[in-house]
Structure 1
Amino acid sequence: MSILSITSTALSGMRAQTTRVSAIANNIANSSTPGYARLNTSLTSVEPGGVQAIVEPTASDVDPASELTDMIQAEQSYKANAVVFETGADMWEMLMSIKRD
């Protein structure tokens, strides 16, 4: 696996978690709106590597405690992907400095 594919995979994870947080925020903002259909985010893997978020309405009601739990999970997942991305970028920088020398 190349450094570029590692950073690309981490970036797709950060994008997916951003989409997830957006859906959660929308659910919380519209929790008392009559007839609102809760948005559910599912993550699927994509080739050659990475993840994609798919947002679909569901028939369930919005549970604020569940939404906050999902928000915490999305935050932790985003942070983990950000660490992987930063590590890949650091590795790339190290390789470029070795190549220059």
Structure 2
Amino acid sequence: ISDKLPYKVADTSLASWGRKALDIAENEMPGLMRMREMYSASKPLKGSRMAGCLHMTVETAVLIETLVALGAEDHAAAAIAKAGIPVYAWKGETD
């Protein structure tokens, strides 16, 4: 992970574990996976700016990856950060 990426997570060494958890979650979220399949090529959200304030779970990470494809569990946040997606999340964070 580059120091230049905008992220703050508890422990970036958890990224591999987080990726595995995301892969499992993807199997449990067929609707999002179908949207990713159908719309990744056309990028209907390209140029849109999005912000969210959600609990950082593997399911949230799958949602974020799907939104990126269309244009706090610490391991999920680490996996998202490693993918180059700005994230500020860690378990117990309140500020």
Q: TM-score range by the shorter chain?
A: under 0.3
User: Which has a greater percent of strand?
Assistant: 1
User: Which has a greater percent of helix?
Assistant: 1
Q: Which protein has the larger Cα radius of gyration, Structure 1 or Structure 2? A: 1
